[in-house]
Amino acid sequence: MSVAVVTGASKGIGRAIAKALAREGYSLSLGARSVDLLKNLADELKTEVLWSYLDVSSEASVEKFAEKTLERFRSVEILVANAGVGVPGRLDEITEEAFMHSLQVNLLGVWRTIKAFLPTLKETKGTVVVVTSDLSTRLLPGSGAYVVSKWGARALVKTFQLENPTVKFLELRPGAVDTHFYGKPGRSREEGFMKPEDVAEALVSLLNLPHHVRVEEVLLRSIYQDPVY
């Protein structure tokens, strides 16, 4: 059975992706800081699940997560680097601490996670999916530290791809999705929000393409969200 790793699996898009991959028959290694939420997700899923505390802003935590995953499953076919945080604030007002947090999670967290799983992904000729943002190629005043982290994450994905042609790297770029990202979920489709399940189903269909097809990036937005590039 193929093994998929999902970071940030406790809530939102990561949780929906974990559920969709379980349904597709993958065994799962799930990581996030909210282990209570991971445990209750694991209880729900009808597949083999390892859940572990993971803080992607810590090198030690990422390495331990990768070690535990490989101890249990030996190899990994799919890595979904999804963990991320929204960090609002104008660039002339944001604190250095908040800026660093954005980079530590959204940029370096992705780099650490890919680096830790790359050896097994090279062996399996696997796929790395990085959930960035529709903002990874555009600008949003008032969210500069977040936007910079996502542009950086896009550059990471592309550079990893050039350096590792036998692994497939997919940049998944969602627009607005109704998750904890905006506080409590509950926003409507008509306000321009997709559901986390919409993103998960899109990913499943891409993963089901023939192995020789490499989808390098996908931008997904609700029809109610303005197309801005």
171 touches ligand NJP (CB under 6 A) = no
Query: Backbone phi, then psi, for 143, in 5-degree steps?
Result: -135, 30
Q: Using the rule CB under 6 A, which residue among 13, 18, 45, 94 binds ligand NJP?
A: 13
Compute the distance between CA of residue 51 and CA of residue 6 in angstroms, rounded to an integer. Answer: 10
Nearer residue to ligand NJP within complex by CB, 55 or 77: 55
174 is a site residue for ligand NJP (CB under 6 A):
yes
- Phi then psi for 11, rounded to 5 degrees? -140, 170
Sole window of 8-16, 160-168, 204-212, 215-223 interacting with ligand NJP (rule: CB under 6 A): 8-16
Query: Per CB under 6 A, which region of 17-25, 43-51, 52-60, 90-98 contacts ligand NJP?
Result: 52-60
Q: Which of 20, 22, 30, 32 binds ligand NJP (CB under 6 A)?
A: 32
Cα 53 to Cα 57: distance, rounded to the nearest angstrom: 12
On whether the CB atoms of residues 200 and 19 are closer than 8 A, the answer is yes
Tokens of 160: 């990893």
State the catalytic residues: 146
Of residues 73-102, which lie at the interface with ligand NJP (CB under 6 A)?
Answer: 82-85
Alpha helices in the chain (DSSP H): 12-23, 35-44, 59-73, 96-102, 109-124, 144-163, 196-207
- Binding footprint of ligand NJP on the chain (CB under 6 A): 7-8, 10-14, 32-34, 54-57, 82-85, 105, 131, 133-135, 174-177, 179-181
